[in-house]
């Protein structure tokens, strides 16, 4: 199974959907979120983080570019690259140092990050009628 579709319309089901997404991803730790503004990328990433054991307050990294969260097992890095204009800015952030086999990395607006990742789960969130669907594919 290389593709997954989840109905994430009901926020009360997000933890269950996060579990299904992580099971689908297997050992993959890098998730690239590609969706229009306001589709729920940050909200769903917060749900994944909560499922993984983050107890800290979580917020969008729109202005900080990256938020770091800790779990008992590892760290989670949540990037929002919306304001980043060039790959050189990512090099200045030490972006390539965030990727390893232990930590989860969630990236919103991932276009500039593509040259830094070898394998990943591509996430697309789409509104279809009154429902919100998450589509996942492993690359």
Domains within the chain, CATH numbers bracketed: 3-138 (3.40.50.300)
| CA dihedral sign, ordered 76, 39, 111, 86 | negative
If one compares 129 and 62, the residue with the highest pLDDT of the two is 129
pLDDT digits (tens, 9 = 90+) for 76-121: 999 999 999 999 999 998 999 998 878 999 999 999 999 999 999 9
- Residue 1 pLDDT more than 70? no
β partners of residue 78: 67, 106
d(CA 85, CA 91): 12
Q: In what order do the strands lie in the sheet with 3-7?
A: 3-7, 131-138, 121-128, 30-34, 104-108, 75-80, 66-70
Instruction: Say what the pLDDT of residue 63 is.
Output: 75
The rounded mean pLDDT for the chain is 93
């Amino acid at each position: 199974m290389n593709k997954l579709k989840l109905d994430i319309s009901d926020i009360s089901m997000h933890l269950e959907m996060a579990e299904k997404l992580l099971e689908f991803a297997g050992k993959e730790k890098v998730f690239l979120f590609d969706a229009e503004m306001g589709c729920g990328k940050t909200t769903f990433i917060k749900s994944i983080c909560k499922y993984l054991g983050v107890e800290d307050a979580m917020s969008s990294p729109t202005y900080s570019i990256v938020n770091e969260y800790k779990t008992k097992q590892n760290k989670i890095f949540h990037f929002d690259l919306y304001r980043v204009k060039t790959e050189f800015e990512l090099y200045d952030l030490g972006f390539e140092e965030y990727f390893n086999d232990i930590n989860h990395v969630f990236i919103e607006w991932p276009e500039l990050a593509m040259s830094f990742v070898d394998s990943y789960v591509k996430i697309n969130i789409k509104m279809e009628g009154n429902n919100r669907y998450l589509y996942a594919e492993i690359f």
